[in-house]
Structure 1
Amino acid sequence: MTNKALLFLLALSLSACSIFKKGPETPPPTIYSFSEEITKDRLYSDLAVLAHDSLQGRETGTIYEEKAARYLSKRYAEIGLKAVGDDNSYFQHYELTQPAVEQVTYRLADGDEVVDNSTHNAQQIGNFVTLFGGSDTVSGPVVFAGAGMYNEAEGINHFPEDVSGKWLLVMYERSNTNMQYLQRALTSGGAVGTILIVGTDTTDFLQEAKTRQDYFGRGQGLNLKYLQEDDGSTAPAFNRVHPELGARMLGLENLEALAETQSKILEEPASFQAKPLEGQTLYHNPVVNENTVHTKNVVALLEGSDPELKNEVVVLSAHYDHVGVGQPDSTGDNIYNGADDDGSGTVATLHTAQAMAEAKAAGVGPKRSVLFLSVSGEEKGLLGSRYYSDHPIFSIENTVANINIDMIGRVDPEHQNSDSSYVYIIGGKIISSQMDSLTQMANVMGPNLVLSDRYNDLEDPNQFYRRSDHWNFGRLGVPFVFFFNGTHEDYHRPQDHIEKITFEPYLKRTKLVYNLTALLANSPDRPLVDNQEFIEKTQVDPR
């Protein structure tokens, strides 16, 4: 950071401290003093609406998500923010496709011999079950990838060097199969799919096949329509095979031999090498109806006061969708209210906007513009933020930074019996040293939270740095900070209710967000992405 910026921040720190200094005269307000306008009562008022049963969990593409979007637009209009969406509205509309699979026909050939030709639909059960994916017609040769194990340190690799265009036959076992590596083989390696042999229990296979019959004809999964139109690629399939057919594919006589083969592989995993099943080809042919689903991001702008800097924007984002209605819990509750996920982030964004608008009305608003972005489709794969980042209302070149908030209203198990005044920081220093400095400064100005970097690692197995909406800015070179309080027992469960929000730490986290937004909007220098490892990572493994 430049000396100019450091002097600016030092002066700012002293100014912020003076806000709270008692004296005979009240100091004039600054943009930072308006963080005090954010209160627990204000947060509760809006969160009670978004997390109410009447919104039925705000699932993407439903009328209930639409109601949430209209509520947010109404609030932004009341605050006085500028509508910068389509047709001078607060909405950025986009379309999703939702494939509804009617049936899947599987044909397994061994050279010229047809080994299996079966169909799975609402009336029939075949010898394969598609667990997910598989909405495209795909075919290819089969390679046996053992137990799907990969551990470079121990010299274990069950995968072929070249997986492109191939089916990977895997003896799946939860504690041994490396699903992350298998997923990578499908998404970036170019494999057409995987065929899982899950134990030797034929009854279990038939039960899963029967359960899956209920999914035929119902929309499954959502995809951005414009990417489907432009891409031309196919989605890999996760298929489960009947154990007896799996044994036959491996040239084994019975299920006992199948179990023995799996045991031998698990006993000496480092000795196994992938084996092409010569001549075997699987054809996966679904019948699919494509439905179009309409949804929208909510976009509202607080214009900056500086004639030049107002052309640059700080984007403050949170997702307002959740997972809707699902399986009931032990109490019979089947509404996934999403008070924390991500009602908490959405309402924090809303009240940062309100406090900052009040600062502007008092003549001390931000110099840069601030875009308040409430995205949909996060729970379906970061769809709303991907759409915005590919169709930005303000250019990515003029986007100074992204602050993203997802789940800041609860306390995770690690902090249940300790200090709850913490927040996980993801991004910041692993992307931009200047973003880290500004985040630290924002915290010193008032909240004084414990800023934990537990998950702030490009190699963290949870991969939180790319699992929420900030990633769609980061992949384009925009520095970001992601505020997160960690997962809890009600994550994606019906009991994520407003009654379980811990409002004191939630208020502090919201004030931290406000302070950082103001600092980024007023800093003379914009933060730069300066971590070479992050730059290389996004180039090698982009979303």
Structure 2
Amino acid sequence: MRTFYLLLFSLFFLGSAAQNSELKNVSATINIKTLKKHISVLAADSLNGRYTTSEGQKKAANYIRNEFNKAGLHPYNDTSFYQTFSLWSWRWGKCELKVGDILLQSYKDFIYRCNSPLDSINTDCVFVGYGEDDIINNIDLQDKVAFAFTKSYSNYYHLAYRLKSKGVKAIILTNPKDKNSFTRLVKSEDPDHVNVSKAKPFFSKTATRIYIVNPSLTKTFFNKNSNVLSQINTLEEAKKIKSQIISANCPAIVEKVKTENVIGYLKGKSDETIVISAHYDHIGKKGSLICNGADDNASGTSALITLANTYAQQTEIPDRSILFLATSGEELGLLGALHFADHQQELPFDIKANLNIDMIGRRDSTHKSNYIYIIGGKEYPVLDSLCNVANKKVGLTLDYGYAGRSSFGNILNLSDHYAFHKQGIPILGFFNGLHPDYHKPTDTIDKIEFDEMLKRVQLIYLTGNLLVNKQSYSNN
């Protein structure tokens, strides 16, 4: 350790000129034009937000694989750049709602609002108004469908609980006071959304099955429009409303699906390996709007591809091998990184450290410019010292403000570097902090600040150079 710090001291004072030359030598590959090129592909509308297992995610994986191949990286197992692993998915099948002989249309006339499927039912539909106690407590609802009015599609849970306690099979809700609210709700939903998880989905037997219908269809159910029915608030009036027969079902389609990490490596003089990682998946869509994820994490993936190409063009063989890991499933719980870390025995690599890149293209509200958050620096001070040496050339403010934060602020546990950290492998995460466009359709390429991003990629590159040099780093 004493030898390491003597070397570190020398690097602080002697490394600046060498690093200036080092950055100049790689400016042909580490530049704004290159970074922008990769983000433009990864954050394009055609990839539909790169949701794990989606067609857009597969397109992104194919692009990264081709770039790794063009750079001259070796496939991670010398056969394929893909490390494939299995997940579970579920989506709705054909959801139906029929009033007498009239078949309503999903996402035009109704939306099914529940996380559990509905087995086929055929039963009376009973009008209960806004859920007045006199009506709910004195009408037979056992094994029926309750039709209720609500003033808000986000604040009906107490009413639903009361109706469920009366034994209803399902609930139909509508908002007669705001006739445009159903249209807004439909626009906020993605009818093609697929839910993906590591575990096989579990569906509750007791969940409240809810249909939300367009208020213009009230007459279809009871031959009276919503203006008339909304005036009903007594048991006597409610009992006069003729009951309809409702047929309904909403099956779930459950399947095993596959996704893939994209991995390439450069062989060094030993099997000791530095992993540079970034996740390339994102959250898909919110309703009809695509969440392109330009910062999260097309920026990190662009940096990863750029670094792979830069290291691959160096003529001198590094002391350590370098593995470039583009993960899928990060947004679903670090699934790709955890799979890789849990299957290290499949690969002939002795992993010594991980540099993880997750959102490096923007600024947060607390900084004007010229900074980067460092994750893991407090936990791994030797590795952090190397980053500080590298930063002598770049001159960024290294912010450790996320260290020790709880909840969402604990980024140490909430990005792919955690998969390595939990196994005791030293890590550094590079992160620009949160901004108002995080996980929103507004995280687009026009908001990427490429001048800032370039300096961050330069810092990661220089830190990586020190890491692959055995003489300048040991985690022992």
TM-score range, shorter chain: 0.5 to 0.7
Partner of 1:400: 352
Partner of 1:61: 53
Q: Which runs of 5+ in 1 are unaligned?
A: 22-28, 105-121, 136-195, 243-285, 329-333, 529-543
Partner of 1:337: 292
The answer as to 2:263 corresponding to 1:315 is no
Q: Which runs of 5+ in 2 are unaligned?
A: 96-105, 118-156, 164-170, 176-181, 211-249
Partner of 1:422: 371
**Could you tell me which amino acid in structure 1 is paired with residue 83 of structure 2?**
Q
Identity, in percent, stands at 34
Query: 1:502, CA displacement in angstroms?
Result: 0.5
The answer as to 2:33 corresponding to 1:41 is yes
2:460 is paired with a residue whose SS is helix
Q: Distance in 2 between matches of 1:342 and 1:129?
A: 30
Of residues 452, 457, 471 in structure 1, which corresponds to 2:418?
471
**Could you tell me which amino acid in structure 2 is paired with residue 350 of structure 1?**
I
Q: How does 1:358-507 map to 2 (within 5 A)?
A: 358-359=313-314, 361=315, 363=316, 365-392=317-344, 398-415=350-367, 418=368, 420-429=369-378, 431-444=379-392, 446-457=393-404, 459=406, 461-507=408-454
Q: Distance in 2 between matches of 1:205 and 1:382?
A: 37
Tell me if structure 2 keeps the 8 A contact 1:100–1:217: no
Q: TM-score normalized by structure 1?
A: 0.60
Query: 1:200, CA displacement in angstroms?
Result: 9.3
Q: How does 1:63-462 map to 2 (within 5 A)?
A: 63-85=55-77, 88-100=79-91, 130=114, 197=158, 206=173, 220-224=194-198, 288-304=252-268, 306=269, 310-328=270-288, 334-359=289-314, 361=315, 363=316, 365-392=317-344, 398-415=350-367, 418=368, 420-429=369-378, 431-444=379-392, 446-457=393-404, 459=406, 461-462=408-409
Query: 1:7, CA displacement in angstroms?
Result: 2.7
Query: 1:463, CA displacement in angstroms?
Result: 2.3
Distance 1:235 1:441, change over 3 A: farther
**Could you tell me which amino acid in structure 2 is paired with residue 421 of structure 1?**
N
**Could you tell me which amino acid in structure 1 is paired with residue 361 of structure 2?**
G
Q: TM-score normalized by structure 2?
A: 0.68
2:461 is paired with a residue whose SS is helix
2:420 is paired with a residue whose SS is helix
* Larger-gyration structure (1/2): 2
CA deviation vs aligned residue, 1:477-509 (integer Å, no higher than 9, x gap): 222111111122221222222221111110011
CA deviation vs aligned residue, 1:18-68 (integer Å, no higher than 9, x gap): 2377xxxxxxx76x7655441112211222221222222222212222121
Tell me if structure 2 keeps the 8 A contact 1:411–1:485: yes
Tell me if structure 1 keeps the 8 A contact 2:271–2:349: no
Query: 1:318, CA displacement in angstroms?
Result: 0.5
1:414 is paired with a residue whose SS is coil
**Could you tell me which amino acid in structure 2 is paired with residue 324 of structure 1?**
G
Distance 1:393 1:56, change over 3 A: farther
Query: 1:201, CA displacement in angstroms?
Result: 10
Distance 1:81 1:395, change over 3 A: closer
Q: Distance in 2 between matches of 1:349 and 1:302?
A: 13
Query: 1:8, CA displacement in angstroms?
Result: 2.6
Distance 1:337 1:441, change over 3 A: same
Query: 1:393, CA displacement in angstroms?
Result: 6.4
Tell me if structure 2 keeps the 8 A contact 1:345–1:406: yes
Distance 1:54 1:289, change over 3 A: closer
Distance 1:288 1:369, change over 3 A: same
Distance 1:497 1:91, change over 3 A: same
Equivalent pairs, count: 372
**Could you tell me which amino acid in structure 1 is paired with residue 6 of structure 2?**
L
**Could you tell me which amino acid in structure 1 is paired with residue 17 of structure 2?**
S
Q: Distance in 2 between matches of 1:238 and 1:343?
A: 41
Distance 1:78 1:241, change over 3 A: closer
1:222 is paired with a residue whose SS is strand
Q: Distance in 1 between matches of 2:206 and 2:400?
A: 35
CA deviation vs aligned residue, 1:378-425 (integer Å, no higher than 9, x gap): 12222211211122366698211111111100111222xx2x111111
Q: Distance in 2 between matches of 1:97 and 1:469?
A: 20
Note the aligned Cα RMSD (angstroms). 4.0
Distance 1:17 1:371, change over 3 A: same
Distance 1:17 1:55, change over 3 A: same
Tell me if structure 1 keeps the 8 A contact 2:89–2:255: yes
**Could you tell me which amino acid in structure 2 is paired with residue 383 of structure 1?**
L
Query: 1:513, CA displacement in angstroms?
Result: 1.0
1:413 is paired with a residue whose SS is coil
1:315 is paired with a residue whose SS is strand
Q: Distance in 2 between matches of 1:392 and 1:353?
A: 20
Distance 1:220 1:337, change over 3 A: closer
Query: 1:374, CA displacement in angstroms?
Result: 0.4
2:419 is paired with a residue whose SS is helix
Q: How does 1:10-49 map to 2 (within 5 A)?
A: 10-19=9-18, 34-37=25-28, 38-49=30-41
Query: 1:459, CA displacement in angstroms?
Result: 3.5
Distance 1:201 1:425, change over 3 A: farther
1:428 is paired with a residue whose SS is coil
Q: Distance in 1 between matches of 2:51 and 2:63?
A: 15
Q: Distance in 2 between matches of 1:56 and 1:218?
A: 12
Q: Distance in 1 between matches of 2:310 and 2:382?
A: 25
**Could you tell me which amino acid in structure 1 is paired with residue 310 of structure 2?**
A
Tell me if structure 2 keeps the 8 A contact 1:318–1:342: yes
